[in-house]
Amino acid sequence: MKVRLTINGREREADVEPRKTLLDTLREDFLLVGSHAGCEHGVCGACTVLIDGEPSRSCLMFAVQADGYDITTIEGLAPAPGELSIVQDAFCETHGLQCGYCTSGMILAAHALLERNDAPTRADILEAISGNICRCTGYGQIVEAIEHAADRLRKTNVPRGGRP
């Protein structure tokens, strides 16, 4: 079946079997391999993408169900090739990743939170990433990364240390 999606701002089209998941379609048909296959049954959040801006598990959805939707993957967050978004940069700065397997899902969950709330409480952050499991258990630095990103967004991206 033909499926038409807007992925990271571009109209894309693929011919897929009806049983093919959105996750496999993103990875295999569009070579967007930043969305990871973890549990593949809706538990771990490694496959998280944004569908019309909302974090969603791409392993639980068939690509044909996403027809016509607007999809954002981790590859779509950077403002330009070779650059990082504020949230991505904050994860690097605070060591918010170890093996990196959960990281794209965590960053997309954080991105969605900060899109609607740039002053989240710790409870807001914990809730936003509550559907994402980090097997390396680096939750402390992940929360710190999101707090740091929120701080930078509020201060229009003044780097850590407060450079004038």
- Which residues lie near ligand FES (CB under 6 A)? 37-40, 42-47, 57, 59, 97-103, 134-136, 138
Query: Is residue 26 a contact partner of residue 12, using CB atoms and an 8 Å limit?
Result: no
128 phi/psi in degrees, rounded to 5: -65, -35
Q: How far is the CB of 160 from ligand FES (least distance, A)?
A: 21
End-to-end CA distance of the chain: 54
Q: Which is nearer to ligand FES, 78 or 139 (CB)?
A: 139
Q: How far is the CB of 5 from ligand FES (least distance, A)?
A: 18
Q: Which is nearer to ligand FES, 95 or 116 (CB)?
A: 95
Q: How far is the CB of 40 from ligand FES (least distance, A)?
A: 5
Q: Which amino acid makes up residue 148? A: H
Compute how many other C-beta atoms are within 10 angstroms of the C-beta atom of residue 137: 9
